[in-house]
Amino acid sequence: MSHLILVRHGQSVWNLENRFTGWVDVELSKNGREEASKAGKLIKNLKIDFGMFYTSYLKRANETLNIILKEINVENNQVVKAWELNERHYGNLTGLNKDEMKKKLSEEKVHQLRRSWDIPPEKLDKDSPYHPLNNIIYKDIPKNLIPDTESLKDTYDRVIPYYKSYIMDNIKNNVLISAHGNSIRALCKFLFNLDNKDISKLEIPTGNPLILKFENGKIISANYLDKERSKNLIIF
Protein backbone atom coordinates (compact mmCIF):
# COMPACT_ATOMS: atom_id res chain seq x y z
CA MET A 1 0.00 0.00 0.00
CA SER A 2 1.17 3.53 -0.78
CA HIS A 3 -0.02 6.95 0.36
CA LEU A 4 -0.64 10.43 -1.00
CA ILE A 5 -1.36 13.13 1.57
CA LEU A 6 -2.81 16.45 0.40
CA VAL A 7 -2.68 19.42 2.76
CA ARG A 8 -4.18 22.80 2.06
CA HIS A 9 -2.00 25.37 3.81
CA GLY A 10 -3.08 26.61 7.22
CA GLN A 11 -5.19 29.74 7.47
CA SER A 12 -3.40 32.72 5.92
CA VAL A 13 -3.68 36.35 6.99
CA TRP A 14 -5.84 37.03 3.93
CA ASN A 15 -8.03 33.99 4.67
CA LEU A 16 -8.57 35.61 8.06
CA GLU A 17 -9.49 38.90 6.38
CA ASN A 18 -11.75 37.06 3.88
CA ARG A 19 -9.84 38.38 0.85
CA PHE A 20 -9.24 36.79 -2.54
CA THR A 21 -5.58 35.77 -2.44
CA GLY A 22 -4.57 33.66 -5.44
CA TRP A 23 -0.94 34.18 -6.42
CA VAL A 24 -0.27 36.93 -3.85
CA ASP A 25 2.40 35.74 -1.42
CA VAL A 26 0.85 36.22 2.02
CA GLU A 27 1.87 34.56 5.28
CA LEU A 28 0.11 32.21 7.65
CA SER A 29 -1.91 33.64 10.49
CA LYS A 30 -1.25 32.50 14.07
CA ASN A 31 -4.17 30.11 13.73
CA GLY A 32 -2.74 28.89 10.44
CA ARG A 33 0.57 27.99 12.06
CA GLU A 34 -1.33 26.12 14.76
CA GLU A 35 -3.33 24.25 12.10
CA ALA A 36 -0.09 23.26 10.36
CA SER A 37 1.40 22.06 13.63
CA LYS A 38 -1.67 19.95 14.37
CA ALA A 39 -1.52 18.56 10.83
CA GLY A 40 2.09 17.55 11.41
CA LYS A 41 1.22 15.77 14.64
CA LEU A 42 -1.61 13.86 12.95
CA ILE A 43 0.70 12.83 10.10
CA LYS A 44 3.43 11.80 12.53
CA ASN A 45 1.02 9.34 14.16
CA LEU A 46 0.71 7.50 10.84
CA LYS A 47 4.42 6.54 10.89
CA ILE A 48 4.69 6.84 7.10
CA ASP A 49 8.12 6.99 5.48
CA PHE A 50 7.76 9.65 2.76
CA GLY A 51 9.79 9.53 -0.43
CA MET A 52 9.03 13.07 -1.64
CA PHE A 53 7.38 16.33 -0.61
CA TYR A 54 5.92 18.89 -3.02
CA THR A 55 4.71 22.43 -2.53
CA SER A 56 3.96 25.60 -4.49
CA TYR A 57 6.00 28.80 -4.80
CA LEU A 58 3.89 30.52 -2.14
CA LYS A 59 5.12 31.04 1.42
CA ARG A 60 1.85 30.02 3.08
CA ALA A 61 2.16 26.54 1.56
CA ASN A 62 5.93 26.47 2.12
CA GLU A 63 5.60 27.42 5.79
CA THR A 64 2.84 24.85 6.31
CA LEU A 65 5.11 22.16 4.88
CA ASN A 66 8.09 23.32 6.95
CA ILE A 67 6.03 23.13 10.15
CA ILE A 68 4.83 19.65 9.20
CA LEU A 69 8.38 18.50 8.44
CA LYS A 70 9.53 19.76 11.84
CA GLU A 71 6.73 17.85 13.56
CA ILE A 72 7.57 14.59 11.75
CA ASN A 73 11.35 15.09 12.17
CA VAL A 74 12.25 15.12 8.47
CA GLU A 75 14.92 17.24 6.79
CA ASN A 76 13.60 19.33 3.90
CA ASN A 77 16.13 18.15 1.28
CA GLN A 78 13.38 16.09 -0.36
CA VAL A 79 11.15 19.12 -1.05
CA VAL A 80 10.28 20.18 -4.60
CA LYS A 81 8.68 23.58 -5.24
CA ALA A 82 6.51 23.94 -8.34
CA TRP A 83 4.60 27.03 -9.47
CA GLU A 84 2.17 24.67 -11.18
CA LEU A 85 0.84 23.84 -7.68
CA ASN A 86 0.06 27.50 -6.94
CA GLU A 87 -3.40 28.64 -5.96
CA ARG A 88 -5.80 29.67 -8.71
CA HIS A 89 -5.22 33.24 -9.94
CA TYR A 90 -8.29 35.33 -9.04
CA GLY A 91 -7.75 38.06 -11.63
CA ASN A 92 -9.17 41.46 -10.78
CA LEU A 93 -10.76 40.05 -7.62
CA THR A 94 -7.29 39.68 -6.09
CA GLY A 95 -7.02 41.48 -2.76
CA LEU A 96 -10.74 42.28 -2.53
CA ASN A 97 -13.00 41.29 0.36
CA LYS A 98 -15.36 38.44 -0.56
CA ASP A 99 -18.35 39.76 1.41
CA GLU A 100 -17.97 43.24 -0.06
CA MET A 101 -17.88 41.77 -3.57
CA LYS A 102 -21.08 39.81 -2.85
CA LYS A 103 -22.80 43.12 -2.07
CA LYS A 104 -21.35 44.74 -5.19
CA LEU A 105 -21.76 41.90 -7.71
CA SER A 106 -24.41 39.72 -5.98
CA GLU A 107 -23.87 36.53 -4.02
CA GLU A 108 -24.78 34.43 -7.06
CA LYS A 109 -22.17 36.10 -9.27
CA VAL A 110 -19.41 35.72 -6.70
CA HIS A 111 -20.33 32.06 -6.20
CA GLN A 112 -20.14 31.59 -9.97
CA LEU A 113 -16.69 33.20 -10.13
CA ARG A 114 -15.44 31.15 -7.18
CA ARG A 115 -16.96 27.75 -7.93
CA SER A 116 -17.72 27.45 -11.65
CA TRP A 117 -15.54 25.18 -13.74
CA ASP A 118 -14.56 27.44 -16.62
CA ILE A 119 -15.59 31.05 -15.86
CA PRO A 120 -12.62 33.21 -14.79
CA PRO A 121 -12.81 36.68 -13.23
CA GLU A 122 -11.75 39.67 -15.32
CA LYS A 123 -8.00 39.95 -15.89
CA LEU A 124 -5.79 41.65 -13.33
CA ASP A 125 -4.00 44.70 -14.69
CA LYS A 126 -0.31 43.94 -15.27
CA ASP A 127 0.60 47.15 -13.44
CA SER A 128 -1.08 45.96 -10.24
CA PRO A 129 1.31 45.31 -7.35
CA TYR A 130 -0.58 42.04 -6.90
CA HIS A 131 0.24 40.81 -10.40
CA PRO A 132 2.74 37.91 -10.32
CA LEU A 133 4.78 39.61 -13.05
CA ASN A 134 5.73 42.15 -10.37
CA ASN A 135 6.87 39.57 -7.81
CA ILE A 136 10.49 38.40 -7.90
CA ILE A 137 9.57 34.86 -6.82
CA TYR A 138 8.22 34.27 -10.33
CA LYS A 139 11.29 35.59 -12.18
CA ASP A 140 12.22 32.12 -13.48
CA ILE A 141 8.78 31.38 -14.95
CA PRO A 142 8.39 32.24 -18.67
CA LYS A 143 6.24 35.37 -18.82
CA ASN A 144 3.86 33.80 -21.32
CA LEU A 145 2.96 31.17 -18.70
CA ILE A 146 2.11 33.67 -15.96
CA PRO A 147 -1.67 34.22 -15.88
CA ASP A 148 -3.69 37.43 -15.53
CA THR A 149 -6.66 35.39 -14.29
CA GLU A 150 -7.73 31.74 -14.12
CA SER A 151 -10.80 29.56 -13.93
CA LEU A 152 -10.63 26.24 -12.10
CA LYS A 153 -10.22 24.63 -15.52
CA ASP A 154 -7.12 26.77 -16.15
CA THR A 155 -5.75 25.67 -12.77
CA TYR A 156 -6.51 22.04 -13.62
CA ASP A 157 -4.68 22.43 -16.93
CA ARG A 158 -1.40 23.23 -15.15
CA VAL A 159 -1.77 21.08 -12.03
CA ILE A 160 -2.63 17.78 -13.72
CA PRO A 161 0.14 17.70 -16.36
CA TYR A 162 2.64 18.44 -13.58
CA TYR A 163 1.14 15.71 -11.40
CA LYS A 164 1.30 13.17 -14.21
CA SER A 165 4.86 14.07 -15.16
CA TYR A 166 6.52 14.52 -11.76
CA ILE A 167 4.39 13.18 -8.90
CA MET A 168 2.26 10.23 -9.98
CA ASP A 169 5.09 7.72 -10.37
CA ASN A 170 6.52 8.66 -6.97
CA ILE A 171 3.35 7.81 -5.03
CA LYS A 172 4.59 4.24 -4.66
CA ASN A 173 7.19 5.70 -2.28
CA ASN A 174 4.62 7.88 -0.42
CA VAL A 175 4.15 11.58 -1.24
CA LEU A 176 2.95 14.62 0.69
CA ILE A 177 1.76 17.77 -1.12
CA SER A 178 1.30 21.10 0.66
CA ALA A 179 -0.67 23.34 -1.67
CA HIS A 180 -3.88 25.37 -1.94
CA GLY A 181 -7.64 25.05 -1.98
CA ASN A 182 -8.05 25.20 -5.74
CA SER A 183 -4.90 23.36 -6.80
CA ILE A 184 -5.98 20.52 -4.48
CA ARG A 185 -9.55 20.72 -5.82
CA ALA A 186 -8.16 20.38 -9.34
CA LEU A 187 -6.12 17.37 -8.30
CA CYS A 188 -9.12 15.79 -6.56
CA LYS A 189 -11.20 16.27 -9.69
CA PHE A 190 -8.67 14.17 -11.57
CA LEU A 191 -8.06 11.58 -8.86
CA PHE A 192 -11.74 11.05 -8.00
CA ASN A 193 -12.96 11.51 -11.58
CA LEU A 194 -15.44 14.19 -10.53
CA ASP A 195 -17.57 15.88 -13.18
CA ASN A 196 -17.70 19.64 -13.71
CA LYS A 197 -20.79 19.99 -11.52
CA ASP A 198 -19.61 17.89 -8.58
CA ILE A 199 -16.26 19.67 -8.33
CA SER A 200 -18.13 22.88 -7.44
CA LYS A 201 -19.34 21.17 -4.23
CA LEU A 202 -15.90 20.07 -3.05
CA GLU A 203 -14.57 22.06 -0.09
CA ILE A 204 -10.96 21.75 1.09
CA PRO A 205 -10.46 22.83 4.75
CA THR A 206 -7.26 24.62 5.75
CA GLY A 207 -4.59 22.61 7.54
CA ASN A 208 -6.47 19.29 7.54
CA PRO A 209 -4.49 16.46 5.88
CA LEU A 210 -6.41 14.37 3.36
CA ILE A 211 -4.89 10.90 3.15
CA LEU A 212 -5.40 8.80 0.01
CA LYS A 213 -4.42 5.13 0.15
CA PHE A 214 -3.47 3.34 -3.06
CA GLU A 215 -3.23 -0.32 -4.02
CA ASN A 216 -2.01 -1.27 -7.49
CA GLY A 217 -2.23 2.38 -8.53
CA LYS A 218 -5.90 2.72 -7.54
CA ILE A 219 -7.38 4.73 -4.67
CA ILE A 220 -8.95 2.44 -2.08
CA SER A 221 -9.78 5.07 0.54
CA ALA A 222 -9.68 8.80 1.21
CA ASN A 223 -10.15 10.39 4.63
CA TYR A 224 -9.39 13.60 6.49
CA LEU A 225 -7.16 13.06 9.52
CA ASP A 226 -8.87 15.73 11.64
CA LYS A 227 -12.37 14.26 11.84
CA GLU A 228 -13.83 17.31 13.56
CA ARG A 229 -12.93 19.54 10.60
CA SER A 230 -13.51 17.09 7.77
CA LYS A 231 -15.55 17.96 4.68
CA ASN A 232 -17.69 15.86 2.37
CA LEU A 233 -15.48 14.19 -0.25
CA ILE A 234 -18.53 13.46 -2.41
CA ILE A 235 -17.48 9.93 -3.42
CA PHE A 236 -16.04 8.39 -0.24
Per the CB < 8 A criterion, the answer to whether 168 and 161 are in contact is: no
Other residues' Cβ atoms within 10 Å of the Cβ of residue 165: 10
Catalytic annotation present for 27? no
**d(C-alpha 51, C-alpha 54), whole Å:** 10
Candidate list 35, 63, 87, 150, residue with the active-site label: 87
Catalytic annotation present for 215? no
Candidate list 3, 9, 89, 180, residue with the active-site label: 9
Which residues are known to be catalytic? 9, 87
